[in-house]
Structure formats: C-alpha cells, structure tokens
Amino acid sequence: MKFAADCMLGTLAKWLIILGHDVLYYPRIEDGELVRLARRQGRTVLTCDRRLVQRRDARDHILIRSQDLRAQIRQVLEERGLRIRKDRLFKRCIQCNRRTRPAARTSIRAEVPPYVYRTRRRFTRCPLCRRVFWRATHVSRMLEDLVEWGRRELPQTPAPRTQARLRRSTK
C-alpha cells in the first residue's frame, strides 16, 4: 500500500516500510503540501492531527489514535485489511523508501560491524543512499510480535489458539 505519514509519525513510517509498504515521510512538511502530495500520488495520509483530517481535501486518511508504536501499526493493518507477508519484509530502504537490492556478503564487509558480518548471512543495499541493511535482533523481535498478533487476530488461521487451549487442558 502507498502511504504518506505526517511529521509526528516517523517511527510508524519506518515500520510500515520494513513491512514492505511504500511510505513517504518528510520530517518537515506543511499539512497542505502533505495532503496534496498524497492525493497526487494516490497515497493514504497517516496522521495523528485532528485538524489535518478535517481538511476537505484530506479524503483518504487514517487518524492514528495511539501513542504506542505497536498499536499504531496494528491500527493501520486492521483498517486496511493488510496482512504481514514475510516475502515482503525488508525490501525497502527505511531512509529513502527505495527498493533495496541484494548485496554480496563480501562487498559489505567494511561497512558493517564485525559481529554483524559474522552472524548475518543476508544483506541488502539501497541504490540511492547506498546504506546496507540486515535483520537486526530488535527488529526480528518486533516482527515476531506482529506476526504472532496477526495469527491471533485473523480468523482464517485459528490453529495457534486451539493448540494453546489443548496445552492448557492437559496440564
């Protein structure tokens, strides 16, 4: 999905990019400009500003209710019926929203910490800003939480809940 996030939602924007969505984010942009940009490019505006959603031209928007990052991500996914797809993760640069490309492990050696080089196998690079990306542990943990939440919330995958009940009943 294509989004345009307001100035207050930089972290949410980054996470939606990690999940594979196309998200525009500028730390400094005027409300009117953000709304016009979103309309021109067919993007949903993400905002926590009530005044912004009252604008007549801000038709396609999600008013983010929570301050909590996990709740914010869940709200966006829920309201647009989006699922977390593992094949879409980590495909974009969190800095400039460009699609990243696989990078040979040997080519990034000088650019990542030695521990990361030793323990990670897959790296990608942004063609625009040249940054190198890999799956950091804290990112993986957050994703596990989100994937677990998706399993619990989505009715078409009831298996984990049934298993939990079975485990409890055999105690």
Residues contacting 11, CB < 8 A, separation 6+ = 69
CA angle 117, 144, 44 (to 5 degrees): 100
17 binds Zn ion (CB under 5 A): no
**Contact window for Zn ion (CB under 5 A) among 15-23, 55-63, 85-93, 153-161:** 85-93
96 binds Zn ion (CB under 5 A): yes
Which of residues 63 and 95 has its CB atom nearest to Zn ion in the complex? 95
13 binds Zn ion (CB under 5 A): no
**Contact window for Zn ion (CB under 5 A) among 1-9, 68-76, 125-133, 146-154:** 125-133
Q: Which of 96, 97, 91, 3 is nearest to 41 (CA)?
A: 3
Q: Which of 169, 166, 130, 146 is nearest to 19 (CA)?
A: 146
Which of residues 102 and 114 has its CB atom nearest to Zn ion in the complex? 102
22 binds Zn ion (CB under 5 A): no
In angstroms, the CA 7 to CA 49 distance is: 10
- Which residues of the shown chain bind Zn ion in the complex (CB under 5 A)? 93, 95-96, 126, 128-129
